[in-house]
Amino acid sequence: MPVATEPLSGVPMWRPVRGGNAFEITVARLAQAIRLGLVPVGERLPPERELAERLQVSRVTLREAIAALREAGFLESRRGRSGGTFVVRSTGEAGEGHTQDAAALARQMGDALHDALDFRRVLEPGAAALAATRALSAPDRAHLVACLAAARTRDPLTRRVNDSRLHLAIAAASGSTSVAASIADVQLRLDRLLAAIPVLRRNLDHSDAQHERVVEAILAGDPVVARTEMEEHCDATAALLRGLLG
- The string of pLDDT tens digits covering residues 130-176 is 999 999 999 999 999 999 999 999 887 788 888 988 999 999 999 99
- Which pTM does this prediction carry? 0.69
Q: What is the pLDDT of residue 222?
A: 98
Q: Does the structure show a pLDDT above 70 at 2?
A: no
Distance from C-alpha of 38 to C-alpha of 162, rounded to nearest angstrom: 37
Element containing residue 75 per DSSP (H, E): strand 75-78
Is residue 129 a contact partner of residue 227, using CB atoms and an 8 Å limit? yes
Residue 199: phi, psi to the nearest 5? -85, 115
Q: Does the structure show a pLDDT above 90 at 17?
A: no
What is the CA angle 33-96-192, rounded to 5? 80
3-state helix, strand, coil split of the chain in percent (to 5) is: 65, 5, 30
Beta bridge partners of 78: 84
